[in-house]
Structure 1
Amino acid sequence: MGKLRAKSDYEEIRNARLLENQARLASLGLQKTISELRSITSSPKSDRTNVRKCQKLDYSSTPLRRSARLIGKSPSSNGDLVNFQGLDSEDDKNRPANAPLLSIRRSLRPKLSPDALTRRCTSKGRGSLYDPIYGICCHFCRQKKLCGEEDCERCGNQDMDQPCIGKTDCSICHSSNGVLCRACLKVRYGEEMEEVKAKKQWICPHCMEDKGINPYWICNSSICLKKRKMAPTGIAIYRAKELGYKSVAHLLMDELQRADKRR
């Protein structure tokens, strides 16, 4: 009986508070405001005005825009980019990878400002000036920068007929696999750019492996290592130097040779 009586007292107090709150809302005029808000929010969607309608566009009757390069035609007469002419000719198959063919109307070829020319030569390693048009991508660092060589006609004067002397070119494949900047060439493979230029018949790591010239000598770019199902080495030059190796490639060559002997 005591529990029922306590419950009854609680309900009476609660009901009294509800009545008191309702009377207070009515005296403040808030009850009317609440009812008005409820009527607005509960109104049907069809009564709303200025509702933005979604219009479905029909593209089926509109011809698709196709790349002029892919269909073998020159772009329109405004001609920012004229073409990639002669890509299938025999001369262009042997064209150096550090001198890719890019035919742009001469009047539209951008020229570097004196300030940009100064900044271009502040770093000979990977270059300090990024250029998405004239810059040639390094196979390892994949930085599309103008080289920092002072006498490079391609990067300095945008002469498309000249090779970039700050990037390598394989004498066998002439492919992007053999394009390396000065810094990556030295750090990752232990070679100097001046030595490569003097050789004239420089061979990239890919072709060296294919020809069997140097056993266990492989390209250690992240792209090539992933194809081999090997983990990229990251910044391994510090470990290579601590262990007395000339470059990361020399370190990997020794590790691959030891692993082959353990099998």
Structure 2
Amino acid sequence: MGRLGVKSDYEELRKAQILENQARLASLGVQKAVAEFRSTASKPRSEKRKQNKVNYFSTPLRRSSRLKGNNVDSCGTTPPAKRKMGPFDEGDDEVEIEKRPANAPYLRVKDGLLMPLSPEALARRCNSKERGSIYDPILGICCHFCRQKKLCGEEDCKRCGDSDMDHPCLGKTDCSICHSSKGVLCRGCLKVRYGEEMEDVRENKEWICPHCTEEKGINPYWICSSSLCLKKRKMAPTGIAIFRAREMGYKSVAHLLMDQLQGTVKSI
């Protein structure tokens, strides 16, 4: 055993290794970089970060089409009164044509995008006349109440069956006054919500939607019972209220709402 106070070989090797590592770090400049970083981090921040203030009064504010006085429907879109006829081309200008009804909007679709329905799809399309059974985001016309863009189940509808956009959809209504999306209802919603048949509405060229009926003062209690319109009135959506309406002897939900608004029946 070595005497106390005499350094062992291990300590000599350790000290030599430390000196070698320090020399290597000094040659790489690591120690200098660490010292500069520590001195920078220890200094208190005297300057505050500059914030660029945005001048909101230098540019005009964006206004919605409704506030500008443009003709918009309940979904916030402009009715398709002006469209370009013919194939879709980038950069083409729109030309004025006659106003088309809401159940026959003209679509600008690229060639080859519309595919004819298969025989199986055509047969399945006519299985249900209420709201249709085939969803089509391009040709399907949105119902104002159920908001389903389905092809109608009418057998003679050339628009939904043959993809002919020059014909109206026989399974959707069109208001004779506004010709907007507010007056587009499918067969099922028309019967359940308002107690009307599609054949009667189709024969009546002067059919008026519930919105225009109320605005014209024809029947102030005949209102639209869609969730969108009821929320605007600060009324709770009725949901599936047709079962309660029929149990109480009403023909449709709209007839029940009429008595509710007049105070003769409790809220749904």
Settle same-fold status: TM greater than 0.5.
yes
Shift, 1:109, TM fit: 2.1
Does structure 2 retain, via aligned residues, the 8 Å contact 1:135–1:145?
Answer: yes
State the distance in 2 between where 1:86 and 1:254 align: 50
Secondary structure at the counterpart of residue 122 of structure 2:
helix
| CA displacement 1:30-49 (0-9 Å, x = unmatched) | xxxxxxxxxxxxxxxxxxxx
Letter in 2 for 1:102: L
Partner of 1:192: 197
Q: 1:96 to 1:218 in 2, by over 3 A?
A: same
Name structure 2 gaps, 5 residues minimum: 1-83
Aligned partner of 2:96 among 89, 100, 108: 89
Secondary structure at the counterpart of residue 251 of structure 2:
coil
Shift, 1:95, TM fit: 1.2
Q: 1:163 to 1:84 in 2, by over 3 A?
A: farther
State the distance in 2 between where 1:119 and 1:235 align: 26
Partner of 1:219: 224
Secondary structure at the counterpart of residue 195 of structure 1:
helix
Partner of 1:19: none
Q: 1:255 to 1:86 in 2, by over 3 A?
A: farther
Moved over 6 A (4+): 83-88
Partner of 1:114: 119
Partner of 1:20: none
State the distance in 2 between where 1:158 and 1:207 align: 30
CA-based RMSD: 2.3
Secondary structure at the counterpart of residue 150 of structure 2:
strand
Aligned partner of 1:169 among 166, 174, 186: 174
Does structure 2 retain, via aligned residues, the 8 Å contact 1:121–1:127?
Answer: yes
1:230 aligns with 2:235: yes
Partner of 2:187: 182
Shift, 1:145, TM fit: 0.2
Q: Which has the higher helix share?
A: 1
Shift, 1:82, TM fit: 4.3
Q: 1:126 to 1:86 in 2, by over 3 A?
A: farther
Secondary structure at the counterpart of residue 212 of structure 1:
coil
Secondary structure at the counterpart of residue 137 of structure 1:
coil
State the distance in 1 between where 2:227 and 2:160 align: 26
Alignment of 1:115-130 (within 5 A): 115-130=120-135
TM-score by length of 2: 0.63
Does structure 2 retain, via aligned residues, the 8 Å contact 1:136–1:145?
Answer: yes
Name structure 1 gaps, 5 residues minimum: 1-73, 75-79
Partner of 1:68: none
